[in-house]
Structure 1
């Protein structure tokens, strides 16, 4: 099941609940969550039945899904950051990557921000998030690419440049690796839904 969440709605709910809206959903989705399964089941059933209960029902279930994701993510972030004071430094690097994803970010810059050696930083990052810093940055860029593909008519070459990719083929290769389809195919699928 694929559920596309409006980033503005996510941010509004996060702000209202005093939760961080900075998410790496790949980290969240590794955990089994029965509440989330139930919410997704309700949403799926409603959509399959042609939305008999109306927009308010869909909006309410969607907002509950967003809240559950934010709450779970913030709880898990607090848990792993609370176990080792050194892991707080990873959060600084993650936030930097989220704020500066279109720039050329170096390992040296991230290790200086985190105040860790490069090997400790990479090992801690991979152990904590399950991906390398480079993979994490690529995921951020691809998520931003999806947003741009949804909301703009810019060609993929311009989107690639805006997101910090060296060229369109580099962008397309990573986009396909992460999403399973090319940027144009992804946009076609999104626009059709």
Structure 2
């Protein structure tokens, strides 16, 4: 954040939602994709200015600017505070807290993420944090490049039409939730799963399930339910046991299965891609080359 100053005039008592608000609809939205615990949207506001007071949201709300620096006015302690918000800054509005802001002239491009409080609570529980003392806190203008990197990965997945699948989105969502609990909560303690691990039977059950249903759009919840533990806990323990995340392991096994089918069957590459769980042939080719250094055609 480049500069901040306090404006001493009092805030108007009531500002009708939408009265002076830029009604631009999102350029992209994940609402129709049914992502668990999170909604990701990209906005580009083109009008000169807007002023709006939001009622207390039911979800945690993250706004991550992507464009040029923009002058905004926000409410804090019944006063107005002007600040310049730029790329890399973070605006976090916790669930249950009303928010007022006014944007001046200028094009404003941003990613909005809405997170279910229940998902954050479950992540805290799985990480052995005290959920009664753990809550996200209001933040405006904090530079957080790691948070923006996570947002950009989610946005890229949205732009691709969900090419990487549900397991990938859920893995990123868990990383996002843990990052918020570490850096934007009332209790910022190290999250760890020391002295805990998957036993051999649990690990083998999970691996067998993945191989059996490799063609599915697997989710963390589905895999965790196989051994009856929480999705967040499962993701960290699986990586501890295997050295890679559940999503990376699934992709790796899909490539291995595709390699076998390319050598032993006459199925088209497009058909093989679908049978091993990739969304299309180009999706298979991209990951195949990443893991083997060759394309499916070269293997065949």
Relative to the length of structure 1, the TM-score reads 0.50
Matched, 1:95 2:208: yes
CA positional deviation for 1:84: 6.5
Across the aligned residues of Structure 1 and Structure 2, the Cα RMSD in angstroms comes to 1.8
In structure 2, what is the Cα distance between the partners aligned to 1:177 and 1:114?
31
Matching residue of 2:218 = 105
Matched, 1:125 2:238: yes
In structure 2, what is the Cα distance between the partners aligned to 1:102 and 1:121?
21
SS at match of 1:115: coil
Q: Which runs of 5+ in 1 are unaligned?
A: 1-82, 188-193
Matching residue of 2:256 = 143
Q: Which has the larger radius of gyration?
A: 2
Q: Which runs of 5+ in 2 are unaligned?
A: 1-194
Deviations 1:20-50, CA, capped at 9 Å, x for gaps = xxxxxxxxxxxxxxxxxxxxxxxxxxxxxxx
Matching residue of 2:297 = 184
CA positional deviation for 1:86: 4.2
Relative to the length of structure 2, the TM-score reads 0.33
SS at match of 2:217: coil
Report the number of matched residues: 105
CA separation of 1:84 and 1:123: change in aligned 2, threshold 3 A = closer
The correspondence of residues 57-72 of structure 1 with structure 2, limited to 5 A, is none
CA separation of 1:108 and 1:153: change in aligned 2, threshold 3 A = same
Matched, 1:157 2:278: no
In structure 1, what is the Cα distance between the partners aligned to 2:287 and 2:227?
26
SS at match of 1:92: helix
CA positional deviation for 1:164: 1.4
Runs (4 or more) in structure 1 with deviation over 2 Å come to 83-91
CA separation of 1:155 and 1:123: change in aligned 2, threshold 3 A = same
Contact 1:90-1:121 within 8 A present in 2 as well: no
Deviations 1:46-82, CA, capped at 9 Å, x for gaps = xxxxxxxxxxxxxxxxxxxxxxxxxxxxxxxxxxxxx
Matching residue of 1:14 = none
CA positional deviation for 1:173: 0.6
In structure 1, what is the Cα distance between the partners aligned to 2:288 and 2:273?
10
In structure 2, what is the Cα distance between the partners aligned to 1:137 and 1:173?
15
Contact 1:172-1:182 within 8 A present in 2 as well: yes
In structure 2, what is the Cα distance between the partners aligned to 1:157 and 1:163?
10
SS at match of 1:165: coil
Task: Give the structure with the higher percent helix.
Answer: 1
